[in-house]
Amino acid sequence: MNLTNLRKDFPILNEKVNNKPLVYLDNAATTQKPLCVIEAMSNYYLHLNSNVHRGVHTLSQQATTEFEHVRKSVQTFLNSKEQEEIIFTRGTTESINLVASSFSEAFIKEGDEIIVSELEHHSNIVPWQIIAQRKKAILRVIPFNDNGELDLNVYKTLLNEKTKIVSVAHVSNALGTVNPIKEIITLAHNKNIPVLIDGAQGVPHYKIDVQDLDCDFYCFSGHKLYAPMGVGIVYGKRKFLEAMPPYHGGGEMIKEVRFSGTTFNEIPYKFEAGTPSVADVLGLKAAIDYVNSIGFETIQKHEDELMQYTTKKLLEVGDITIYGNAKQKAGSLSFNLNGVHPFDVGTLLDQLGIAIRTGHHCAQPVMQHYDIVGTARVSFAIYTTKEEIDYFIESLKRVKQILL
């Protein structure tokens, strides 16, 4: 992979921040967008803008055709059996809320149990807490050890005939842990329990094959995969989607509306009420094409090298605690300079042009596990270079001199 050429695809990487060249290490929060994605969106507004699915006029039909091409493209990207199993949402958060809300209406009753894990993003905790409260169901939690790895022995004991769904992250945004999702899915399926995978941090780093994983739902956000904000995906197995009631009511999700009663559309439209964010959806296709043109083998190799290199260099700085030492990690590396608040580290690095994330990363239970207020987190993308990591490490040494 020629990184110099690849970086030219991302105009924002030439920006200066605080008079220093931008070093963007906050990719787990959102990735930068290549020009092809920006052009796909502007092309829509320049040449194609019209509402989808409803018009007989040419522009609307063209927009609809392009929009539905993206569904096909996501189907191929995730290797789902059918394109009707692909639902457009605004992002992972909406995707998980959709499943939690609709699945629970069909399948969860008082006394039932839902399993999540201790290392989830709030987006994969709070929707289930709301459902548990609404349905008088019980939320069970798979704990993780100090390395940031889920305790599968406890998980096995949590699975029982009352368990109605398991919902876990593919990759932790706070610790970088890659969870053994295939094993988690198999163990649940042995008891006929469906599994949702929060793929927000999985999709940017790994080739996903939902048929091979055999997960029942897989959710992700476009914006962490070089696509625009405002578009996300629910993959769901047909048998579940058909049995689940609609999430939102409105246009497009109906067959016929009468005051005596409304009938609902087929999947996936049953779950797609209202005007979608068409330009963002088209941007998602451009991002998928872009990522495919690089290839996941190349992406993974590059990011694994960065993870190992950064971990080694960070520890050499001294007075550093790394949170999460799982055997398999991807994307994110969380640490603290001992005795220093992560905000101070982040603020000083920002003065040097380096964008990292500090805080609880919307995973407060992870912070509670380690009894800390937060961490500093660096996260990688395909355009991250070793030179940027070297600059980050040198800058961190300066920060350490100032603060310790």
Q: Which of residues 205-234 bind ligand PMP (CB under 6 A)?
A: 221, 223
Amino acid identity, residue 66?
E
Q: Is the peptide bond before 127 cis (omega within 30 degrees of 0)?
A: no
Question: Does 267 interact with ligand PMP (rule: CB under 6 A)?
Answer: no
Site for ligand PMP, residues 300 to 329, rule: CB under 6 A:
none
Part of the chain binding ligand PMP (CB under 6 A), chosen from 118-126, 133-141, 154-162, 383-391? 118-126
**Tokens 């006394």 belong to residue:** 111
Asked whether position 334 contacts ligand PMP by CB under 6 A, the answer is: no
Burial of 255 (0-12, 13-18, 19+ CB in 10 A): exposed
By CB under 6 A, tell whether 169 contacts ligand PMP.
Answer: yes
- Distance CA(355)–CA(17), nearest Å, equals 9
371 Cβ contact list (under 8 Å, min separation 6) = none
Residue 200 near ligand PMP by CB under 6 A? yes
CA distance 69 to 77: 12
Kindly state the tokens that stand for 265: 């559309």
Give the three-class secondary structure for 185: helix
Stretches 196-204, 289-297, 382-390, 391-399: which one binds ligand PMP (CB under 6 A)?
A: 196-204
User: CA 158 to CA 372: how far, in whole Å?
Assistant: 27
Which residue, 364, 392, 370, 309, is CA-closest to 26? 392
Nearer to ligand PMP, 91 or 236 (CB): 91
- Per CB under 6 A, the segment of 144-152, 195-203, 282-290, 311-319 that binds ligand PMP is 195-203
Contact present, 228 and 222 (Cβ < 8 Å): yes
Name the residue nearer to ligand PMP (CB basis): 342 or 353: 342
Interaction between residue 173 and ligand PMP (CB under 6 A):
yes
Question: At closest approach, how far in Å is the CB of 56 from ligand PMP?
Answer: 35
Whether 362 is a known active-site residue: answer yes
Rounded distance between C-alpha atoms, residue 235 and residue 213, angstroms: 12
Stretch that binds ligand PMP, among 7-15, 89-97, 151-159, 342-350 (CB under 6 A): 89-97
CB atoms under 10 Å from CB of 257, counted, come to: 12
CA distance 83 to 236: 10
Q: Which one of the spans 36-44, 197-205, 283-291, 370-378 is the region binding ligand PMP (CB under 6 A)? A: 197-205
- Sheet with 332-337, side-by-side order of all strands: 320-323, 332-337, 375-379, 357-359
- Least gap, CB of 92 to ligand PMP (angstroms): 4
Least Å from the CB of residue 21 to ligand PMP: 26
- Between 117 and 395, CB nearer to ligand PMP: 117
Sole binder of ligand PMP in the list 32, 80, 93, 375 (CB under 6 A): 93
Stretch that binds ligand PMP, among 119-127, 139-147, 322-330, 391-399 (CB under 6 A): 119-127
The active-site residue out of 36, 215, 219, 362 is 362
The token pair at 368 is: 């509670």
CA angle 94, 159, 196 (to 5 degrees): 20
Q: What 8-state DSSP symbol labels residue 217?
A: E
**Which of 32, 52, 113, 121 is in the footprint of ligand PMP by CB under 6 A?**
121
Choosing from 102, 123, 336, 384, the residue that interacts with ligand PMP (CB under 6 A) is 123
Query: Rounded to the nearest whole angstrom, what is the least distance from the CB of residue 82 to ligand PMP in the complex?
Result: 25
* Interior/surface letters 274-294, b for 16+ CB within 10 angstroms, e for the rest: eebbbbbbbbbbbbbebbeee
Considering the rule CB under 6 A, would residue 167 count as an interface residue with ligand PMP?
no
How far apart, in whole angstroms, are the C-alpha atoms of residue 388 and residue 18? 16
User: Which CB atom, from 201 or from 384, has the smaller least distance to ligand PMP?
Assistant: 201
CB of 37 to ligand PMP, least distance (A): 16
Site for ligand PMP (CB under 6 A): which residue of 104, 163, 201, 277?
A: 201
Does 197 bind ligand PMP (CB under 6 A)? Our answer is: no
Residues near ligand PMP, by CB under 6 A = 91-93, 121, 123-124, 169, 173, 198, 200-201, 221, 223, 362
Residues annotated as part of the active site? 362
